[in-house]
Structure formats: structure tokens, C-alpha cells
Amino acid sequence: MSLVTKTASLQQVADELLQSYGPASDSADFFDFDAVVIDATKAKALVTAADLGALVTALLACRLKPVAFRGQLVGDAEAALALGLVMTAPEVARSKPAPEPKKTAAAPVEVIREVVTEVIREVVREVPSPAVPTLVIDKPVRSGQKVYARGTDLVVLAMVNQGGEVVADGNIHVYAPLRGKAMAGASGNANARIFSTCLEPELISIAGVYRTSENALPPDIQGKAAQVRLSDDGQEKLLFEALAT
């Protein structure tokens, strides 16, 4: 799991995390000590070691386990190492595959054997894993309740009340007012989407990129049928789009 922050003020991020998932919040047991990579590569300034320490403390209080830091840190890597973090590079360089040796006509039997082997390996890779059935909920999700569709999509046919949470590794469909928290792509699927016939959420999140009700939605989205997705321009912004009814 990655925590992507676009601000160098990690203290602010720590405060928001504690408010939503800290011991005193309604979602204190939401996480189960999942490993987290702190990604500050999109921050426009250097991250201070003090702020990084505050964020690590907040993550631990939210039942998360920070394991690595990606971004620009004031000083050297010793500050991150002192917090038990590993410094990781912004991008992992991928080596180009070595060119395949040219086959000669001197050994036609050996050429045929190689072709058959490659075809068999390709067929094995294309065999799909068993699909996980979509989780369908036909009762209201009340305050304090949490529904998690692990490895699949979630369909809710009733209201998600304030204080209720719906989470899915895939897409989330709410065919009623969505007034609680909705988190799609919980395992990192950036292509996941959230749909609702009445979008009034406390919190919306896709693949860790979130927005709270403190930032009011546009009038043509608030309380209307809409979908939420991540932008495909590499900026990881939440896009809210009205749906025709």
C-alpha cells in the first residue's frame, strides 16, 4: 500500500489520518497493520525529518506499518533509517530485454522445439484466475458499520449513512444516497471507480487518493448521480463526473 502526498507538510497529513483512522475516530480498527510506503515524490518542497517522524507516529497509531519512504528528504537517508524506513528510488529502472539470438536453418528441429515451448508458456499465462463474485448488499449501511469487498466489486442497493463505510478492491456502485465513506481500489487499483445515484460523501477515495467533505463538491455533482475516477494524466487527481439520469 502507498500513501501518496502532494504536500511537504506531512504534519497536516498526519493530523488528517488521525482524525479519520486514529484511536479516537469511528474507524479506529479499519486497518490491520498493513505495510505502507510513504510516497512524497509529488511534493513541491523537501520533507523535513520532524514532519516525517510525526507521520510515522500517526501511521502506527492508525494500525499501519510504515516500511519505506520515497521522495526528497532534508539531509541524508539517516533520518529515514532512524525511523525504521528504507529509502526507495522514485522509479525502478527496467532493463531492456536481451535480443534473442537469431535462429539458423542448420538445426530446423531445434527451432521447432523452441517455438512450441514459447506457445505453451504463453497459454499458461493467459489462463485467468477464478473470478471473485461481486458482493451485493441490499440493506442500509448504518453509522459505525463497515463493508469490505475483498478482491472484487461492491454493489449497495440501499443508503450508505453518515459514519458508514463501504470499501472494495474493485469498483463501488451505490444505487441510493452515498453519505458515508467510500473507498474503491483499496488494494491499489487506480482504474477502480465509484458510482452513486446521489453523491453526498463524507470521504471519497480511489487507490489511496482521497477527498473529504471539507472540500465541497460542485453543485452539479453534490446530491446528484455521478461517478468518481482517477485522472489518466499521471497527476492522480479525483475526477467527479455527472451521470445522465
CATH of the domain at 191: 2.160.20.70
Q: Which residues of the chain have pLDDT under 70?
A: 8, 44-45, 73-81, 86-130, 245
CA pseudo-torsion sign 115, 117, 121, 124: positive
Task: Note whether 79 and 149 are same-domain residues.
Answer: no
pLDDT of residue 235: 79
pLDDT of residue 111: 44
Range of the domain at 53: 2-88
Does 72 fall in a domain? Answer: yes
pLDDT of residue 94: 44
Residue 204: alpha-carbon gap to chain centroid = 11
pLDDT of residue 99: 59
Does 114 fall in a domain? Answer: no
pLDDT of residue 114: 43
DSSP H helices in the chain: 10-21, 49-61, 78-82, 108-126
Task: Note whether 139 and 226 are same-domain residues.
Answer: yes
Task: Note whether 73 and 140 are same-domain residues.
Answer: no
**In sequence order, what are the beta bridge partners of 229?**
239
Look-up of cell digits 504463453? 122
Task: Note whether 144 and 237 are same-domain residues.
Answer: yes
Task: Note whether 72 and 159 are same-domain residues.
Answer: no
